[in-house]
Chain A
């Protein structure tokens, strides 16, 4: 039961964080604000990868 709760909590934190990061990229990708959408996407991927690698050893 405790293991399942671990997974649920961590999955929730990851979904909110990674979802938020990619939502920001998605909303701003067409804006003419001088920010390159591709490098924004790469940053979102890097942050997401860090978070997944951070959580993975703890739940696996």
Chain B
């Protein structure tokens, strides 16, 4: 398979960002849904412990963002990559053609929609329009969450800054609800890259740098090598289980955000009155399970990367040295 796109620093950044964002979600949601996730609050040291962890993770997110923006500005070749992430009119055409393809009115997907199976890296763009969407949506959400998070860092300070308690409360509510919106994308992201039939249980693109991604030639047959992959027998039940968990998790968190009236959404601002139910509690916990699955898959991807690099290093060590003319080296005597 030949679809390596991430540089080594990008793979590290992606893993660190994922861990940090997961910590922000676990701490943020355990505060927001403290009725349903009481055990998570207790596990992380009560309200004070959770809020301290949330602020530490928020600070780490700012540090990671500053690092990434600096890298994009001064890193070699980064500006070219940045241009490749910008949306183009062709991406809009690709989206329209994708809709037509699903409806049976187009024979194939647009080149700007190609990301996975059946194409070599020369045939697909650095990012499909879907990939660009993921990058931009997550970027905008994280920036807004960072800004609103900084503004509400201190509740009394926020109230003084905005003069009125209502204005400060609005920012708190915005921060909480934007987190709910973002979790939908994160859950889909975990499902998309963890349960794709070609790559299940984890897509290695985000973990193995493109510099060491294998680019094997398959001269004996047509294709890119995806035909050689076999579907793991556990995929069927795993994809059904994970798919159901993602749908239930997203709907439960959405419904919970409407009815829960605890911090950060005051009762006066929520349409509902704060009732809960056993199934809602189960559903929100299923949503947290999907996020935990993301942590596990991220860790597993890094373990596989380490094993693969160790294997490559071992193979290189065992290979005999090659003479300058390409032949086998031999002693002069």
Contacts of B250 on A, CB cut-off 8 Å? 17
Contacts of A47 on B, CB cut-off 8 Å? 244, 247-248
Smallest CB separation, B246 vs chain A (Å):
10
Among A5, A20, A35, A58, the residue within 8 A (CB) of B255 is A58
- Whether A54 pairs with B236 at a CB distance below 8 angstroms is no
Contacts of B279 on A, CB cut-off 8 Å? 50, 53-54, 57
B170 at the interface (CB under 8 A from A): no
Size of interface on B: residues with Cβ below 8 Å to A: 23
Smallest CB separation, A35 vs chain B (Å):
6
A2 at the interface (CB under 8 A from B): yes
- Whether A6 pairs with B236 at a CB distance below 8 angstroms is no
Residues of A11-29 contacting chain B, CB below 8 A:
13-14, 17, 20-21, 24, 27
Residues of B245-304 contacting chain A, CB below 8 A:
247-248, 250-252, 254-255, 258-259, 271-272, 275-277, 279-280, 282-283
Smallest CB separation, A13 vs chain B (Å):
5
Contacts of A51 on B, CB cut-off 8 Å? 247-248, 251, 283
Q: How far is the CA of A8 from the CA of B281 in the complex (A)?
A: 21
Among B240, B243, B280, B282, the residue within 8 A (CB) of A58 is B280
Smallest CB separation, B100 vs chain A (Å):
15
B283's nearest neighbour on chain A, judged by CB, is A54
Known: A2-B271, A43-B240, A47-B244. A57 touches B251 (CB 8 A): no
- Whether B271 pairs with A17 at a CB distance below 8 angstroms is no
- Whether A57 pairs with B277 at a CB distance below 8 angstroms is yes
Q: How far is the CA of A43 from the CA of B251 in the complex (A)?
A: 16
Smallest CB separation, B64 vs chain A (Å):
32
- Whether A6 pairs with B247 at a CB distance below 8 angstroms is no
Instruction: Using A27-B102, A54-B252 as known contacts, list a sample of 17 further A-B pairs with CB atoms less than 8 Å apart, ordered by residue number in A.
Output: A2-B272, A3-B271, A6-B258, A9-B258, A10-B255, A14-B251, A17-B251, A20-B247, A21-B247, A34-B236, A43-B240, A46-B244, A51-B247, A54-B255, A54-B283, A57-B275, A58-B275
